[in-house]
Amino acid sequence: MTRIWNENGFVTDDPWVIESEETKAGSNEKAILGLGDFLAKVAETDETGLGVLINPADDVRRLEGHLDRIGLVAVAFPAFSDGRAFSHASLLRSRLGYRGEVRAVGDVLIDQVPLMLRCGIDSFAVSNATALKRLAENRLPGITNHYQPAARPAVDPGSYSWRRRA
């Protein structure tokens, strides 16, 4: 089963549901819409706090100008090997300046979580057993020294300009 994790631990009352043909958000749930549906809703209503799903082939920059209407952006990893969402999250944070919740959905594995965090993803929909176990034990396989700036703010260790420390 899928659980939602963030750096404070597991979330018990998460309202978000990715909408599809078969799945619709219930009365006390919130819908994560596809990009097209989201843009249509933004144009047709003045609702805020919307959820939007960025699939790998989507252009995340189309969210520009609508950030104040968004409650959550889900970035999709249909397979752990499809790394496009790392760029989507980076652009969302660094280019568009989005500060709300960014959630990794799909094939979320423990060894990728540290990279996702660095790209500005701060919420994780996890179903992999090892990942659930390691997150419950708060054992992230991350490393503290980084050789490049990333979306997540980090300490400048006072070395070369490209280095950062968690």
What letter would DSSP give residue 128? -
Tell me whether residue 82 or residue 122 sits nearer to other proteins (CB atom): 82
The distance of closest approach from Cβ of residue 85 to other proteins in the complex, given in angstroms and rounded to an integer, is: 9
The distance of closest approach from Cβ of residue 121 to other proteins in the complex, given in angstroms and rounded to an integer, is: 10
Residue with tokens 């939007």: 52
Q: How many residues does the chain have?
A: 166
Tell me whether residue 18 or residue 110 sits nearer to other proteins (CB atom): 110
* Pairing assessment for the beta strands 3-6 and 145-146 based on DSSP bridges: unpaired
Tell me whether residue 41 or residue 163 sits nearer to other proteins (CB atom): 163
What's the CA gap between 138 and 43, in Å, rounded? 42
Binding site for other proteins (CB under 8 A): 56, 80-84, 86-88, 90-91, 95, 109, 111-112, 114-116, 118-119, 130, 141, 143-150, 157, 159-163
Is residue 13 packed enough to be buried (19+ CB in 10 Å), middle (13-18) or exposed (0-12)? exposed
The distance of closest approach from Cβ of residue 11 to other proteins in the complex, given in angstroms and rounded to an integer, is: 23
The distance of closest approach from Cβ of residue 101 to other proteins in the complex, given in angstroms and rounded to an integer, is: 19
Nearest to 107 by CA among 38, 56, 51, 70: 56
Tell me whether residue 66 or residue 93 sits nearer to other proteins (CB atom): 93
